[in-house]
Structure 1
C-alpha cells in the first residue's frame, strides 16, 4: 500500500472512532503494528493525530486538513485506469447515479465517452466535470455540501435519491472487508449510499486496492448488495495488500463480479 494512501486510511479510521489502538489499526489495515506506529508518528508530525499510550487520537476534523483536495492527486493514474473500466460497464442511454469521491470524479470524465447518458451526481466536482458535455443530461441532486469533501449529503440528498430510479449506481467506498462488508468513514455518506443502493437496478463499486480488507466506521451493506467491483490488480498480491486476496475471494463467494485492472 502506497504510504500516502495508507496514511489517509489510517487517519480516517482514527478520526471516525475518535481514538484507536495500534492493535485495532493493525487488524483493520492488515499491516504490522510496527508499520502502524511509524504511520502514527508521521501523522503526529503533520499535526493530524496525537499519539497516546497504545494508539492515537485525532487532533482536528478530517474536513480541515485531509479532505478531497488532499487526496485528489494520490494514485491518479490508477484511479483513471479503474474509472475507464467502470465507464465501460455503462451502456449508452442509461440513467446513472454517480457517487462522490476522488475516484468517481475520474469516472465522470470517462462517462462522457458513453453518451448519451443521464447522469445524476452526488459530487460538486463531478458536476463541474460533466457540465455542458454533449450527450450528457446532468442532474445535480440537492443536499448539503460536506466541507472539504464536496459531497452532497443530508435529508435533501436522501429525498432526491428516493424520488428517482437508476439503471446503474457507481459507488465509491471507504472500505470493503470479508466479514464487515462495505463501509464508509462518514455516517452522512453511508446513509446516501444505502438510499442509492435501494434505488438502482445495478450497482458497480470502485475503489483502489488500499481499501481491501479495511473496516471503516459505518457499515453500508453486505458484500452481496453490489453487483460488480472494480479495483486494481495489485489487490490480488498478498505481499502488497495482505487483506486483498481474502476480501476478493469473499466478494466472489457473495456473487460479486470482481474486475482487476
Structure 2
C-alpha cells in the first residue's frame, strides 16, 4: 500500500471513533506499530489528527478535509477502470441502486452507456452525473446529506429503501477483510448498506485494492452477502498489497465472483 493511500485509510479509521490506539490501527491496517506512529505524526503535522498517549483522535476539521472533495481525484485512472468494469455487469433495462463514494461516481458515468436503466442513487454527486441523461430514469433516495461526503443517510433513507426492490445494488466499501467481512468507516453509511443489501437480488461490490485486508469500525456483512467483487489487478500482488491474495482467496471460498480490472 502506498504511503498516501495508507495515510488516507489511517485518517478515516481515526475519524470512525472518538479515539483509537496505535495497536488497533496496526491490527486493522496490517502494518507495524512503528509505521502507524510515523503516519500519525505526519497527519498531526497536517493538523488532521491529535496525538494522544498510545494513539490519536480526530480534530474537528479532519472530516471536512478528508471528505469526498479531497479524495475525488485519488487514483482517478484506477477508479475509471473499475467504473467501466462494474457498468458492464449491469444489464440494460434493469433497476440499479448506486451507492455513494468516489468510485461509484465513475460507475454512474459509465452506466449512461447501458441505458435504458432505472437508477436510484445514494449520492448527490452521482445524481448530478446522471440527471437529464437519455434513457436514464433517475431516482434520488431521500435522506440526510452527510457533511463532507454528500452520501444520503439516516432514518428517511432507510425507510425509503425498505419500500423498494432492485435488480442490482452497486456497493462501495471502506474495507474488506478475510474474517471480518465487509466494513465501513461511518455508522450511518454502514446502516444504509445493510438495508440496501436486503433489497437487492444481486450485489456487486467495488473497491480499489487498498481496501483489501482493512477492517473499518462498522461491520456491514459477511463476505458471502455479495455476489461479485470488482477491484484492480494490484489486489493480486502480494508485494504491494500483502493481504490482497489472502482476501481474494477468502472471497472465492465464500462464493463471491472476482473481477480484476
Query: Which range, TM-score by smaller chain?
Result: over 0.9
RMSD of the TM alignment (CA)?
A: 1.1
Partner of 1:84: 84
**Shift in Å at residue 239 of structure 1?**
1.5
**Shift in Å at residue 27 of structure 1?**
1.6
CA distance in structure 1 between the aligned counterparts of 2:51 and 2:237, rounded to whole angstroms = 31
Q: Which runs of 5+ in 2 are unaligned?
A: none
Matches within 5 A, 1:21-170: 21-60=21-60, 62-170=62-170
Partner of 1:232: 232
Q: Residue 240 of structure 1 aligns to a residue in which SS?
A: coil
Contact 1:4-1:74 within 8 A present in 2 as well: no
Q: Residue 100 of structure 1 aligns to a residue in which SS?
A: coil
CA distance in structure 2 between the aligned counterparts of 1:61 and 1:169, rounded to whole angstroms = 32
Q: Residue 213 of structure 1 aligns to a residue in which SS?
A: coil
**Shift in Å at residue 32 of structure 1?**
2.4
Contact 1:63-1:149 within 8 A present in 2 as well: no
CA distance in structure 1 between the aligned counterparts of 2:96 and 2:62, rounded to whole angstroms = 29
CA distance in structure 2 between the aligned counterparts of 1:118 and 1:150, rounded to whole angstroms = 21
Q: Structure 1 residue runs of 4+, over 4 Å off?
A: none
Partner of 2:255: 255
TM-score with structure 1 setting the length: 0.97
Contact 1:15-1:61 within 8 A present in 2 as well: no
CA distance in structure 2 between the aligned counterparts of 1:244 and 1:108, rounded to whole angstroms = 26
Contact 1:86-1:204 within 8 A present in 2 as well: yes
Q: Residue 17 of structure 1 aligns to a residue in which SS?
A: coil
Contact 2:22-2:37 within 8 A present in 1 as well: yes
CA distance in structure 1 between the aligned counterparts of 2:242 and 2:150, rounded to whole angstroms = 31
Deviations 1:35-82 (A, max 9, x none): 212211110011111222332222226532211001000001000101
Contact 1:30-1:241 within 8 A present in 2 as well: no
Contact 2:15-2:63 within 8 A present in 1 as well: no
